Chain A
Amino acid sequence: MTEARPNTAQSVRFRNVGKSYGSGWAVSGINISIAPGQFVTLLGPSGCGKSTTLNMIAGLETPTEGQIMIGERDVTAMKPADRDIAMVFQSYALYPHMTLYENIAFPLRARRRRTPEAEVDRKVRAAVKMLGLEALLDRFPRQISGGQRQRVALGRAMVRTPTVYLLDEPLSNLDQQLRVQMRSELKDIHQRLGATMLYVTHDQSEAMTLSDLVVVMSNGRIEQAGSPRELYDNPANLFVARFLGEPGMNILDGEAADGRLRGPGFDIALPALARTAGRRISVGIRPEDLHHDPSAAAAISGTVRTVEYLGSRSLVRVDLGDRLIAAFLPPSVDLPAGAPIGLSPADPDKARFFETDGGASLHAHRNLAG
């Protein structure tokens, strides 16, 4: 960055926000607290309400209930133009009849900002330099590539110093290689600007790599909010456990008795915290937390269904009779399909226990939502 930027980053708070379209609640009970300068991702499957939540911060949708604060301002009923936010749309939403220069300068030229043209020029040039768009300023959006359009959309957001940046699946229209590249550029930009950024995606690798805080949503509700590590290591419920990770956590539903959890193909010792929880308990173990256990004492035993060789390791799908589980094993474990296999948790402390009914975690976890 060639110029020192005033840090205008602001906090964002949702207080019990809900949005109803008449027929039902698109989102409800949203409580999030975002510190200034944080990179926060709203993550969830399509239709989970993450975009609606973002649009409510932008002012493109009005909450049916609750309150949204940006810094100390209650913006719940404020017009988008008054909120001093910047947004990058999934479609980029570049103005087709304007050159790249005019597109990026557009926010600065709003009547409410009254930016002198010399300053507009200076700021636009600083932004395009940062994004490597200098040579394209006279082009129109239709004359540039998808990756370049994406940069222009970012430039239009960066050219001013908004309180919050909102990014709605900004990388989803790019090819894989470009997406990974833009992902690290985005992280770099966030660190340089020190800005509060809210990012919506259904791609968990984007969420995990970019975020200080990930908010996992489904069916219009927040399932869990926390750091990527917290969510991954200590999911608050079965939804988060299954949703995060590729593949997600293996979930085994069993009957608890005599300090052990038993079900088709497994028999695992219950930790103290799970012993008083009732009979129906599910255990969750990450595929990488399982190791090959040829002994008769293996906690899990089944038959090999498929082996996907990935170079540094193999993804082995194991059939337990009523379900398939996944395990990342060293490539040296070379078993044919149909062979019996024993697996045990590499570190029993990493296994997570959940109530089968309702799915809540039995472990203490810090949920930043609520």
Chain B
Amino acid sequence: MRTLSRIALVLACLLAGIVALGPILWAASTSFKSANRIFAVPPELLPRSPTLAHYANLIAEGVHWAFLNSFAYAAVAVLAALLFGATAGYALMRYPVAGRPAVLLVFLATMAVPGFAVLLPTQMLAAGIGLQNTWAILPILYAGHILPFTVWVTRSHFATVPRELEQAAEIDGYSRAEAVWRIVLPGAKPALLAAATFGFLHCWNDYVTGSTMVDAPELRTLQVALIFFQGFHGRDWGSLMAGVIIATIPPVVVFLLFRKFLIGGFADGSVKG
């Protein structure tokens, strides 16, 4: 009986794995096939004569710049969100901010508003203040998107740091700021990394905001740039799949690096390390 249920479990996992990984593996396989083999019948699971032509094409089309754009936008947004979010989270935890519950509720409420609902107003606002189609608009909006989440995660983590730890550091000869920097923040590393990872994935995966706010080819995000392989001269499946594979790499790397904190970051509140 035990063996039977074990076998069933393995089969179920295998099926889930195929469903989840199949398209990605197929995309990876396709990205290395020459254009005339992509629709070969019977389909080639592994390309018989692998080629890097599609990847070369991506570079020729300047997609690597879009990759760097996406990365830069996400990095700046995450850093800004961490800086402001952790500061706000700390302040909302430690200082008697007037109307603190209301402030927290507003942060929470912003997370509940669907992005589409504010897309058009945001775009008009951005256009109105001359930020549309500039380098600055996407980092600002992305930071805004992930800021409430960062505030909540950091605040709930700071809530678990006993006030006495900071007081001890102050008595030990450190300023309040030093105490936060040397005692509170190192302890908050899992929470900060969890917030950063989620933030990064949000920014990296964004398509709608990126396609609405910037138009110029040199400002495009990777997700937007890849769409252009979908049209005009018919779909360039090989290059599109190569782009998909490239787009997948950073989230996978980030996840593998920080999964420990992603999983621990939220349980972290309950057990002090």
Determine which of A60, A81, A97 lies in contact with B273 in the assembled complex, contact meaning CB atoms within 8 Å.
Answer: A97
Cβ distance B123 to chain A, nearest Cβ, rounded Å = 44
* A residues 94-133 touching B (CB-CB < 8 Å): 95-97, 106-107, 110-113
Chain A residues with a Cβ under 8 A of chain B: 58-60, 79-81, 83, 85-87, 89, 91, 93, 95-97, 106-107, 110-113, 142, 156
* Listed A/B pairs (19) with beta-carbon separation below 8 Å: A80-B170, A80-B171, A81-B171, A81-B175, A86-B172, A87-B167, A89-B168, A91-B162, A95-B168, A95-B183, A96-B187, A96-B272, A97-B187, A106-B169, A106-B172, A110-B174, A111-B178, A112-B173, A113-B173
Cβ distance A26 to chain B, nearest Cβ, rounded Å = 17
A81→B174 contact, CB < 8 A: yes
Q: A81-B173, A113-B173 are in contact. Are A93 and B273 (CB under 8 A)?
A: no
Residues from chain A with a CB closer than 8 A to the CB of B169 are: 95, 106
Q: Give the interface centre of A59, A81, A107 by most chain B CB atoms within 10 Å.
A: A81
A93→B168 contact, CB < 8 A: yes
Measured CB to CB, the nearest residue on chain B to A153 is B168
Residues from chain A with a CB closer than 8 A to the CB of B164 are: 89, 91, 93
Q: A106-B172, A107-B172, A111-B178 are in contact. Are A93 and B167 (CB under 8 A)?
A: yes
B172→A110 contact, CB < 8 A: yes
Interface size class of B (residues with CB under 8 A): 10 to 19
Residues from chain A with a CB closer than 8 A to the CB of B174 are: 81, 110-111
Residues from chain B with a CB closer than 8 A to the CB of A91 are: 162, 164
B273→A96 contact, CB < 8 A: yes
A58→B183 CA distance, assembly (Å): 19
* B residues 89-115 touching A (CB-CB < 8 Å): none
A112→B175 CA distance, assembly (Å): 10
A80→B172 CA distance, assembly (Å): 8
A79→B273 contact, CB < 8 A: no
Q: A91-B162, A93-B164, A97-B187 are in contact. Are A79 and B170 (CB under 8 A)?
A: yes
Residues from chain B with a CB closer than 8 A to the CB of A93 are: 162, 164-165, 167-168
Cβ distance B208 to chain A, nearest Cβ, rounded Å = 40
Cβ distance B247 to chain A, nearest Cβ, rounded Å = 36
* B residues 133-187 touching A (CB-CB < 8 Å): 162, 164-165, 167-175, 178, 183, 186-187
A110→B187 CA distance, assembly (Å): 19
Cβ distance A255 to chain B, nearest Cβ, rounded Å = 52
Residues from chain A with a CB closer than 8 A to the CB of B273 are: 96-97, 142
A83→B173 CA distance, assembly (Å): 9
A95→B173 contact, CB < 8 A: no
Residues from chain A with a CB closer than 8 A to the CB of B186 are: 97
A86→B171 contact, CB < 8 A: yes
10 cross-chain pairs, A with B, having the tightest CB-CB distances, nearest first:
A110-B173, A107-B172, A93-B168, A93-B164, A80-B170, A87-B171, A80-B171, A97-B186, A81-B173, A89-B164
Measured CB to CB, the nearest residue on chain A to B273 is A96
Measured CB to CB, the nearest residue on chain A to B183 is A95
Residues from chain B with a CB closer than 8 A to the CB of A89 are: 164, 167-168
A85→B174 CA distance, assembly (Å): 12
A97→B188 CA distance, assembly (Å): 10
B167→A60 contact, CB < 8 A: yes
12 more A-B residue pairs beyond the given contacts A81-B170, A97-B273, A107-B172, with a C-beta to C-beta distance below 8 A: A80-B167, A89-B164, A89-B167, A89-B168, A91-B162, A93-B165, A93-B168, A95-B165, A106-B169, A106-B172, A110-B172, A112-B173
Residues from chain A with a CB closer than 8 A to the CB of B162 are: 91, 93
Residues from chain B with a CB closer than 8 A to the CB of A83 are: 171
A142→B187 CA distance, assembly (Å): 13
* B residues 248-273 touching A (CB-CB < 8 Å): 272-273
Residues from chain A with a CB closer than 8 A to the CB of B175 are: 79, 81
Cβ distance A155 to chain B, nearest Cβ, rounded Å = 12
Cβ distance A90 to chain B, nearest Cβ, rounded Å = 8
A286→B187 CA distance, assembly (Å): 52
Residues from chain B with a CB closer than 8 A to the CB of A111 are: 173-174, 178
Cβ distance A275 to chain B, nearest Cβ, rounded Å = 53
Cβ distance A362 to chain B, nearest Cβ, rounded Å = 43
